[in-house]
Chain A
């Protein structure tokens, strides 16, 4: 089918299936799934600037549903989400502006591809290392009623970050954090927002691990709060990218139809897994995205 806004031919069934798979990932891991969606659109011959903008639009719809379901399960720290929104929006605008600069320079596809490969690969390697170390420590052997109890091998570093006393300090009772610098939260949010604006999606692949490892948020709360944050960053990202001519909303609408049902499955699945196991299962996904980007970069054409 021809989509005139982005001047692309894509099978709507392909879009719905990609949306469905991303919906499961979003509900389960609390990530927007852009490390799959962006490369999947690129694989169909779409330019990166359109892949980024369209993916952001599709993620708005998906995240609204998933965030609402996580809120019902008590997995959202609203206070943290509110503070993070400021850093997220600033970062998203900077990311979108950089895309515009690269678009004008005529090398948006090459630069974004390389950044995507490096980012996706780094995340997978780090999460593999951390979750394996945590699982090996044996502490994760908890009775099923303690599935939501969480710990991380990165704990000592997290504690050092939490001890940084840069005014203003705030408390996050829902996440069990007595005191943390507001600047740490804003920095984590800004970096997440930047990657959201630059690589598309909600950048949950950066924000979710950062919330767990840097801020020390329990994984289940990080998943829910990250989704809440994705609604904000992706909405802003969609608006600013649409104004810049980078959004094909028809493609986003079709992808989203598959994502709705996938998200329901993903959210239910989080109730049956402990934190480190969720993080370990996350590892192959950014690698898959990186592999698709490498393919499009090497071959220089679509499937």
Chain B
């Protein structure tokens, strides 16, 4: 039981490290590529901005969830 918990924790720590690298790269990509465009959109086209904001956050949720689930599955199979 303790061994299984230790393995899960190890897998989780590795996942967290890989995820952190992905997220850091993603941060800068999104902030640099979309920052300026979103700023102007918010100032000039509020309704479009509202729709884009919802699509961005929902899209990011689905993609990141898929990435974390994939990472978890991959790492657990490797740890076993």
Chain A contributes a number of interface residues (CB within 8 A of B) equal to 33
- At the interface, yes or no: A97 with Cβ under 8 Å from chain B? no
Q: Is the CB of B57 within 8 A of A256?
A: yes
Interface of A is mostly: helix
**Inter-chain residue pair count (beta carbon < 8 A):** 97
Which A residues lie within 8 Å of B65 (CB)? 64-65, 68, 260
CA distance A235 to B58 in the complex (A): 9
CA distance A240 to B38 in the complex (A): 17
Q: Is the CB of B42 within 8 A of A5?
A: yes
- At the interface, yes or no: A128 with Cβ under 8 Å from chain B? no
Q: Which of B31-77 contact A (CB under 8 A)?
A: 31, 34-35, 38-39, 42, 46-47, 49-54, 56-58, 60-62, 64-65, 68, 72
Q: Is the CB of B61 within 8 A of A60?
A: yes
Interface of B is mostly: helix
Cβ 8 A contact of A243, one of B15, B46, B62, B64 = B46
Q: Is the CB of A261 within 8 A of B68?
A: yes
CB distance from A106 to the nearest CB of B (A): 21
Q: Is the CB of A4 within 8 A of B61?
A: no
- At the interface, yes or no: B23 with Cβ under 8 Å from chain A? yes
Q: Which of A147-172 contact B (CB under 8 A)?
A: none
Which A residues lie within 8 Å of B27 (CB)? 12, 254, 257
- Which listed segment binds B: A244-252, A271-279, A285-293? A244-252
- Chain B residues within 8 Å of A, Cβ to Cβ: 15-16, 19, 23, 26-27, 30-31, 34-35, 38-39, 42, 46-47, 49-54, 56-58, 60-62, 64-65, 68, 72
- Chain A residues within 8 Å of B, Cβ to Cβ: 1, 4-5, 12, 16, 57-58, 60-62, 64-65, 68, 235, 238-240, 242-245, 247, 249-250, 252-254, 256-258, 260-261, 264
Task: Supply 16 further A-B pairs (C-beta < 8 A) apart from A5-B42, A60-B54.
Answer: A1-B31, A4-B39, A12-B27, A57-B54, A57-B57, A61-B57, A238-B57, A239-B51, A242-B46, A243-B50, A249-B53, A250-B35, A253-B56, A254-B27, A257-B60, A261-B16
The 4 A-B pairs at the shortest CB distance, nearest first, are namely A242-B50, A61-B61, A249-B53, A61-B57
